[in-house]
Structure 1
Amino acid sequence: MNKRLAPALLFPGQGSQHPGMGRQLMEHHPEARAAIEESGDAIGTDLVRLLRDGSMEELTRTELAQPAILAVSVAAYRVYRGSLQGPPPCWLAGHSLGEFSALACAGALALGDAVRLVQARGRLMAEAARRQPGGMVAALGIAPERAEAICREVTESRRFGVVVPANYNSASQTVLSGQLPALEEAERLVREAGGSAARLAVGGAFHSPLMATAREAFGEELSAVRLAPPLLPVLSSVTGKRMPDTESGLAELLQRQLTAPVRWTAVMAKLAAAGASEAVEAGPGGVLKRLAAGTVLRVLAMEEDGEREELAHRIRRRRMLSFLEGCLAVAVGTRNEEGDALVYSREVEAPARELERLLREAESAPAVPDGDRLEQAERLLGRVLAGKRMPEGERLERVARLAAAHGLRPVATGAR
């Protein structure tokens, strides 16, 4: 992980669901099971059973898929911040439905309210889909501009119905949404343009004008919950910009997203411009990880084999490097009270140089700095502070505070 900037947290949307999702999180992390049980209690549904035993057919039902995905996403975030002791993310961003997960994790929505909202959202979207049947197809291997042109051509012909760009996922993947005859014609034109087309396992033409009735009704659902200012920065997939702090602004975006396209490429561009180089996909599967291929962002998906373990390793390494950096910063930044130049050179400068060497060695090695190295850094810091004539009590307190901030126990007050 970039030690200067914490990772971004990304939350997937509908289509990421799969049988058994969240099972390992529930089995190994009590906070994950608690989040999923709390989510199920909020809507009177046994989500633990659904996630453990539910079929793909059940999980594809919009009114079940949305609360299930949100529950697993919030569970993954709580594991990241809890068991794994991950740092607060630099940004949170959600793909469509994932925005509700992001806002719940950022403190803008209570978990129970978030689950009830997305259940209502799913129900309203399913009702809209029954009124106006449709679907979604991923256009692969063609530029977004070409996908837009195909949608215009099909829709303006007035022969097939409506089809629009629904998700700008990457430079070579744009998801189209619309009425089934229009989708079939769009698929033909995508292939004619040299691309390929893949139908998505969703229950309607989401993020299209066919969801207009759902959008209108969802406004009433939003008015019944409290939306607080996010405690962490959240990017909107509707605008590609930071979400507002006002309740009305948040509600407007969450309502608008039902018929607006997901501008995921704009979200990725914003993260890159902000200096983010690494991210964690908190939720089912690894859809967003795959969409990030070819960008500057390296994504670890918490549900993919071995990646949660790699994430835990990276978090530990980051925390230990941060402790070493903190030792050096305290050593350099503490006021000096030693007037003898020779003593200063021997008791301050020499251990400070050794402390810097320890940090540089640790930065160049892929392994987590071991306990001996951390103990050595702590003792070197103690020597520097003593050399600068800091009183012993203050010195021990300073070292203890620094260690505690990184989840460590100082050598001076007990073993690690």
Structure 2
Amino acid sequence: MKTAVVICPGRGTYNAAELGYLARHFPDPGLLSRLDAMRRDLGQEPLSALDGAARFSLSKHSRGDNASGLIYAATLGDFLSIDRDEIKIVAVTGNSMGWYSALACGGALSSEDGFRVTNTMGTLMHEALIGGQLIHPWMDDDWAPQPARREALLSLMAQIDGRRDHTLSLSIDLGGMLVLAGNEAGLSAFEASVDPVQGRFPMRLGNHAAFHTALQAPVAERGQEKLPQGLFAQPDLPMIDGRGAVWWPGASDLADLRHYTLGAQVVEPYDFTRAITVAAREFAPDLFIVTGPGTTLGGAVAQSLVLADWKGMSDKAAFKHHQEKQPLLVSMGLDDQRGLVTQGESHVS
């Protein structure tokens, strides 16, 4: 039996290629019906209808009040599809919104309550839509760390943030990428101050607010008003949060867990790199399983493992060599990899 840490993706992972993901992969029709009913009760379009649309609409499917629920359901469905006779899950973590999914996968929230938290926070973010995000690399194309470049980018960020009427700060430490968030003046100033990279960076993230910054304080406050303490329970699995802290089964302070989830996690930077480093060093799994939807998070996981010098991997070539020899990372959003960890398919040997 293989051990695995499961990693839940965040916003921006349900795109045109993922349309129909729930119809193709969600394993529990009854549970999906219950999630749909929760949406209807709120006057929102059911997930099955959004997922079953004839065409993907960026303006509709990527909105916070729709995207969050779609991503949560796709993640939860994939988690439930992992073959537990072959795969022993030793911990869960996530990126950004993926922390809410990780709470449900880890057992600290029921499937329905996990959806309630995710859908509520996604809707509040959409209604407020405070600020925005962009993403920019600091590693080179071969994933060799460039610490001086990273520090220069963070210094520029701080300098821009110090300007009058400009707000810019670190949102997510995402492997070889920095996700920055701020107001329009701050984001535009950064874009104007850096040289383009790979023809696409710095890249604005559509329909994204200034997640994980102080600008989200009003959203955090409203979330705390709407989501009571009683939703949270002791986890069944260790959960690694956006600081790299581990919440252990039977030993988690549930008031602290709620306070972090609806407080610091919303308004402070999310260190995904640190979460993966802790996952590797604390749990030493055979596999890192990234649930769907999407496939974009795999690169950040691999880069984070390189930064952690996991198994001596120092760059992209070293990771690819290890992956080809003995798969370490499985992305369930890829059909050829999905079968490695789901029931009735061939498994990682």
TM-score range for the pair, normalised by the shorter chain length: 0.7 to 0.9
Q: How many residues align?
A: 307
Q: Secondary structure at the match of 1:114?
A: helix
Hey, what's the Cα distance between the residues in 1 that align with 2:35 and 2:197? 45
Hey, what's the Cα distance between the residues in 2 that align with 1:148 and 1:74? 35
* Cα displacement (A) at 1:232: 0.5
- Pick from 157, 165, 178 the counterpart of residue 151 of structure 1: 157
* Cα displacement (A) at 1:190: 3.1
Other-structure match for 2:127: 127
Q: Verify the 8 A CA contact 2:5 2:92 in the aligned structure 1.
A: yes
Q: Secondary structure at the match of 1:15?
A: coil
Q: Which runs of 5+ in 1 are unaligned?
A: 319-365, 367-416
Pairing 1:247–2:254 present: yes
* Cα displacement (A) at 1:314: 11
| Counterpart code for 2:238 | P
- Report which of the two structures shows the higher radius of gyration computed on alpha carbons: 1
* Cα displacement (A) at 1:67: 1.3
Pairing 1:308–2:338 present: yes
Larger helix proportion, structure 1 or 2? 1
Q: Which runs of 5+ in 2 are unaligned?
A: 140-148, 311-318, 320-327
Larger strand proportion, structure 1 or 2? 2
* Cα displacement (A) at 1:72: 0.9
Alignment of 1:98-137 (within 5 A): 98-129=98-129, 132=130, 134-137=131-134
Superposed CA RMSD:
2.6
Hey, what's the Cα distance between the residues in 2 that align with 1:217 and 1:313? 41
| Counterpart code for 1:127 | E
Other-structure match for 1:56: 58
Deviates more, 1:62-71 or 1:244-253: 244-253
Hey, what's the Cα distance between the residues in 2 that align with 1:127 and 1:226? 23
- Pick from 10, 15, 35 the counterpart of residue 39 of structure 1: 35
| Counterpart code for 1:51 | D
Pairing 1:272–2:270 present: no
Alignment of 1:249-264 (within 5 A): 249-255=256-262, 256-264=264-272
Hey, what's the Cα distance between the residues in 2 that align with 1:310 and 1:114? 27
* Cα displacement (A) at 1:155: 0.9
Hey, what's the Cα distance between the residues in 1 that align with 2:254 and 2:3? 27
Other-structure match for 2:144: none
Q: Verify the 8 A CA contact 1:6 1:88 in the aligned structure 2.
A: yes
* Cα displacement (A) at 1:230: 0.5
Q: Verify the 8 A CA contact 2:23 2:52 in the aligned structure 1.
A: no
* Cα displacement (A) at 1:24: 4.9
- Shift in alpha-carbon separation, 1:26–1:80, aligned structure 2, 3 A: farther
- Shift in alpha-carbon separation, 1:221–1:145, aligned structure 2, 3 A: farther
Q: Secondary structure at the match of 2:124?
A: helix
- Shift in alpha-carbon separation, 1:87–1:94, aligned structure 2, 3 A: same
Give per-residue Cα distances to partners, 1:50-90, cap 9 Å, x unaligned: 112152221111111111111111011111147xx453311
Counting aligned pairs with the same residue, the percent is: 22
Hey, what's the Cα distance between the residues in 2 that align with 1:46 and 1:110? 19
Hey, what's the Cα distance between the residues in 2 that align with 1:50 and 1:29? 14
Alignment of 1:229-244 (within 5 A): 229-237=234-242, 239-243=243-247
Other-structure match for 2:14: 17
What TM-score comes out, normalization by structure 2 length? 0.80
Alignment of 1:151-230 (within 5 A): 151-158=157-164, 160-170=165-175, 172-191=176-195, 196-223=201-228, 225-230=230-235
Of structures 1 and 2, the one with the larger relative CO (CA 8 A, separation 6+) is 2
| Counterpart code for 1:9 | V
Give per-residue Cα distances to partners, 1:236-286, cap 9 Å, x unaligned: 01x111026121111011112111111011011112212134211112111
Give per-residue Cα distances to partners, 1:289-320, cap 9 Å, x unaligned: 111234248321112131112334998656xx
Q: Secondary structure at the match of 1:310?
A: coil
* Cα displacement (A) at 1:128: 2.7
What TM-score comes out, normalization by structure 1 length? 0.68
| Counterpart code for 1:146 | A
- Shift in alpha-carbon separation, 1:106–1:156, aligned structure 2, 3 A: same
| Counterpart code for 1:161 | H
Q: Verify the 8 A CA contact 1:20 1:52 in the aligned structure 2.
A: no
Other-structure match for 1:321: none
- Shift in alpha-carbon separation, 1:58–1:121, aligned structure 2, 3 A: same
Hey, what's the Cα distance between the residues in 2 that align with 1:23 and 1:163? 36
Hey, what's the Cα distance between the residues in 1 that align with 2:167 and 2:162? 8
- Shift in alpha-carbon separation, 1:111–1:11, aligned structure 2, 3 A: same
Deviates more, 1:213-222 or 1:177-186: 213-222
Q: Verify the 8 A CA contact 2:83 2:342 in the aligned structure 1.
A: no
Q: Secondary structure at the match of 2:170?
A: strand
- Shift in alpha-carbon separation, 1:119–1:313, aligned structure 2, 3 A: closer
Q: Verify the 8 A CA contact 1:169 1:264 in the aligned structure 2.
A: yes
| Counterpart code for 2:24 | E
